[in-house]
Amino acid sequence: RVAASLSRQHLPSARLSGDGAAPGCPHFDVVVVGGGHAGTEAAAAAARCGSRTLLLTHRADTIGQMSCNPSFGGIGKGHLMREVDALDGLCSRICDQSGVHYKVLNRRKGPAVWGLRAQIDRKLYKQNMQREILSTPLLTVQEGAVEDLILTEPEPGHAGKCRVRGVVLVDGSTVHAESVVLTTGTFLRGLVVIGLEMHPAGRLGDQPSVGLAQTLEKLGFVVGRLKTGTPPRLARDSIDFSVLKAQTPDDPSVPFSFLSETVWIKPEDQLPCHLTHTNPRVDAIILENLHLNSHVRETTKGPRYCPSIESKVLRFPNRMHQVWLEPEGLDSDLVYPQGLSVTLPAELQEKMITCIRGLEKARVVQPGYGVQYDYLDPRQITPSLETRLVQRLFFAGQINGTTGYEEAAAQGVIAGVNASLRVRCRPPFIVSRTEGYIGVLIDDLTTHGTSEPYRMFTSRAEFRLSLRPDNADSRLTFRGYKDAGCVSQQRYDRAAWMKTSLEEGLSALESIEFSSTKWKKLVPQASISTSRSDPVRALDVLKYEEVDMELLAQAVPDPLAKYTECRELAERLKIEASYESVLLHQQEEIKEVQRDEALQLPEDLDYMSVTDVSLSHEVREKLHFSRPQTIGAASRIPGVTPAAIVNLLKFVKATQ
């Protein structure tokens, strides 16, 4: 543990009587602490839901700061962004206004696992995000460091839980709130590390959050420790790009947001990325200097899927590791060497970098560094992201053990919406794993917890073919509009138009029929199997790789031509056709899971004293700690056997 660098002025947590409001104290419906990727989404979502919201963060000029990589999206992460967008969140739209290189990953695989990704201009992203936040109705921004929480004593009928009433800032001032969302990222007792040097900081140049970490621990939250790291930044003009392989962006660019027809920059004006590799000399410098690298020796867990170069060399010696040289922005002189996250002493970082092809003369402008920080065991929050210990207190983002901007943004929207719904005494807005990657993320965190930084992958979702980037609006926008109130009329109308157009288009494709001989004459490019029994539905013809809506519309302009006027609609019809048969099967599986999800478990069930049915002590303990809200969630807790689930069901039914 780091010695506190900020003086702790408010221990113990201020527990006030009554409603806790001090006279003259500012009063908001929702207070969001932290202006990172979770905080911006949470604050904007709460405001969209109609709550008077305050975003309280250390510095307004760091709102929307990308602490590490200058990119958004990727496999699984791109899915989260589409879902955030479907709920009218910000990051996808802002990325469509700030990217400098757009590329869809996994194109060779099916559209269900395509990964929308873009290199983002850091400066532009921050500017655009700050403009958006500062112009959001009902949303106020205030600079300040939150040190403590205002709480009231447990009220009768709330299972002994106290309730949050506001926050206390480092200068002793208070802000009263009906709900509070904490999105403090890597700042809780943050410690920055380079070589053997360590100093308290939330990230390089930013103060850590120590008082708040102490408050949470005092309240009884289970706290863990994680670490991550970032590469050095290199001077662009010191790199010899001529010897490296360039990657060009996609043409046309695929936007992240359902509301964007296109992105702000033409493909020909976008910047390339370049690929280089490490070599045995890099390995040697790392291995010879492990004694000077305390972050690597630290047993705290770091991100498994975005590891430091030291971890890669130790785990996979004698391999050439990829290093992508990514532009930091259109007018930036900096390049981000993705894959080279490192915590060697600064002078050794430069020595290591200059061993790499193309980087022989590279200048390090800012050294790479590591950060170690507290996170809170996410099994202490419910699927609405409200804490189980304190009513109306929500956690979102890296504080819950995740890593990545997109994971943070996804939690931010859900926490902001639920903080607002809670104020209005409305039921929580929960996304199930059958509805979205957001549901998968939150269900994984709240049921399994995490002992290493959690990041999203498509392999984490069991219903991948249904949870596609293209259909996130049909999965979430209508619910976001009706159940949460976080979706604008414009977005709702657009999603409704798309839904109707898809239904009409699919039914037209089903109704048009051809003999295969006739169809082959019309569309010779399509190698339709003649063994197929006649007649062939246009929908089946569209399933062939070589066929698209344009081709079909040339053959049958009426009624198909109108479905090619919108490129997105034409592509979505093709995707729906391709997945038609597998989706029918998956719908059955989804219904089964939804049946289990509908079986709610009582919130106050005392698992340790359930004696009427056979539940092992181990199972009771697991249920007691995770407090699943449904039978479905209980069945996903590792070690809770199907037999235990049957007995639990019997018990719950008998007591209802």
Shortest Å, Cβ 561 to ligand FAD: 44
* 187 in contact with ligand FAD (CB under 6 A): yes
Contact segment (CB under 6 A) with ligand FAD among 34-42, 114-122, 384-392, 630-638 equals 34-42
* 398 in contact with ligand FAD (CB under 6 A): yes
Closer residue to ligand FAD (CB): 145 or 648: 145
**In terms of DSSP bridges, do strands 273-277 and 322-327 run parallel, antiparallel, or are they unpaired?**
antiparallel
Q: Locate 195 and state its tokens.
A: 């070589």
Positive or negative torsion for Cα 136, 137, 138, 143: positive
* 371 in contact with ligand FAD (CB under 6 A): yes
* 195 in contact with ligand FAD (CB under 6 A): no
Q: How far apart are CA 509 and CA 628, in angstroms?
A: 44
Distance set, CA 97 to CA 75, 91, 126, 364, 398 (Å): 21, 10, 11, 29, 25
Binder of ligand FAD out of 30, 38, 461, 555 (CB under 6 A): 38
Q: How far apart are CA 154 and CA 157, in angstroms?
A: 9
293-332: contacts with ligand FAD (CB under 6 A): 303, 306
* Cβ atoms within 10 Å of 512's Cβ, excluding its own: 17
Binder of ligand FAD out of 13, 51, 57, 214 (CB under 6 A): 57
Residues in CB range of 515: below 8 A, 6 or more apart: 534, 535, 536
Shortest Å, Cβ 229 to ligand FAD: 6
Shortest Å, Cβ 613 to ligand FAD: 41
Shortest Å, Cβ 462 to ligand FAD: 23
The binding track of 125-154 with respect to ligand FAD, each residue x by CB under 6 A or -, is --------------------xx--------
Maximum alpha-carbon separation in the chain: 83
Q: How far apart are CA 389 and CA 374, in angstroms?
A: 18
Closer residue to ligand FAD (CB): 60 or 599: 60
Closer residue to ligand FAD (CB): 404 or 436: 404
Could you give the residue ranges of the DSSP H alpha helices within 150-293? 211-218, 280-288
Binder of ligand FAD out of 404, 436, 505, 628 (CB under 6 A): 404
Closer residue to ligand FAD (CB): 56 or 549: 56
* 367 in contact with ligand FAD (CB under 6 A): no
Q: Which amino acid is at 49?
A: C
Q: How far apart are CA 54 and CA 70, in angstroms?
A: 27
215-254: contacts with ligand FAD (CB under 6 A): 228-230
Shortest Å, Cβ 97 to ligand FAD: 19
Closer residue to ligand FAD (CB): 149 or 615: 149
Residues in CB range of 521: below 8 A, 6 or more apart: none
CA nearest 91: which of 77, 103, 111, 101? 77
Contact segment (CB under 6 A) with ligand FAD among 127-135, 206-214, 381-389, 456-464 equals 206-214
Binder of ligand FAD out of 10, 48, 52, 58 (CB under 6 A): 58
CA nearest 408: which of 449, 444, 442? 442
* 184 in contact with ligand FAD (CB under 6 A): yes
Closer residue to ligand FAD (CB): 229 or 449: 229
Cβ atoms of 223 and 374 within 8 Å: the answer is yes
Binder of ligand FAD out of 71, 130, 179, 186 (CB under 6 A): 186
Closer residue to ligand FAD (CB): 367 or 628: 367
Binder of ligand FAD out of 33, 309, 547, 615 (CB under 6 A): 33
The string over 54-76, giving b where at least 16 C-beta atoms fall within 10 Å of a residue's C-beta and e elsewhere, is bbbbbeeebbbbbbbbbbbbbbb
* 209 in contact with ligand FAD (CB under 6 A): yes
Contact segment (CB under 6 A) with ligand FAD among 64-72, 154-162, 538-546, 633-641 equals 64-72
Binder of ligand FAD out of 70, 202, 383, 485 (CB under 6 A): 202
Residue that is written with structure tokens 């600079």 in the block: 143
Shortest Å, Cβ 126 to ligand FAD: 11
Shortest Å, Cβ 86 to ligand FAD: 20
Shortest Å, Cβ 312 to ligand FAD: 13
Coil, helix or strand for 274?
A: strand
Shortest Å, Cβ 185 to ligand FAD: 2
Closer residue to ligand FAD (CB): 68 or 191: 68
**In terms of DSSP bridges, do strands 334-338 and 233-235 run parallel, antiparallel, or are they unpaired?**
antiparallel
* 201 in contact with ligand FAD (CB under 6 A): no
Shortest Å, Cβ 646 to ligand FAD: 39
Cβ atoms of 326 and 338 within 8 Å: the answer is yes
* 91 in contact with ligand FAD (CB under 6 A): no
Binder of ligand FAD out of 39, 74, 89, 480 (CB under 6 A): 39
Positive or negative torsion for Cα 453, 597, 42, 188: negative
* 183 in contact with ligand FAD (CB under 6 A): yes
Closer residue to ligand FAD (CB): 313 or 549: 313
For the chain, report the end-to-end CA distance as a whole number of angstroms. 47
Q: Locate 436 and state its tokens.
A: 């979205």
Shortest Å, Cβ 204 to ligand FAD: 7
The string over 583-613, giving b where at least 16 C-beta atoms fall within 10 Å of a residue's C-beta and e elsewhere, is beebeeebeebeebbebebeeebebeebeee
Distance set, CA 281 to CA 317, 320, 359, 366 (Å): 12, 10, 13, 22
Binder of ligand FAD out of 13, 67, 97, 214 (CB under 6 A): 67
Number of residues that bind ligand FAD (CB under 6 A): 39
Contact segment (CB under 6 A) with ligand FAD among 60-68, 156-164, 320-328, 613-621 equals 60-68
Q: How far apart are CA 305 and CA 457, in angstroms?
A: 10
Closer residue to ligand FAD (CB): 338 or 564: 338
Q: How far apart are CA 524 and CA 555, in angstroms?
A: 11
Q: How far apart are CA 175 and CA 514, in angstroms?
A: 69
The radius of gyration of the chain's CA atoms, rounded to the nearest angstrom, is 26
Lateral strand order in the sheet of 369-376: 197-200, 191-194, 369-376, 223-230
Cβ atoms of 217 and 223 within 8 Å: the answer is yes
Binder of ligand FAD out of 51, 62, 391, 477 (CB under 6 A): 62
Shortest Å, Cβ 182 to ligand FAD: 8
* 368 in contact with ligand FAD (CB under 6 A): no
Closer residue to ligand FAD (CB): 62 or 253: 62
Instruction: Catalog residues that contact ligand FAD under the rule CB under 6 A.
Output: 33-39, 56-58, 62, 67-69, 145-146, 183-187, 202-203, 206, 209, 212, 228-230, 303, 306, 341, 371, 397-398, 403-405, 408
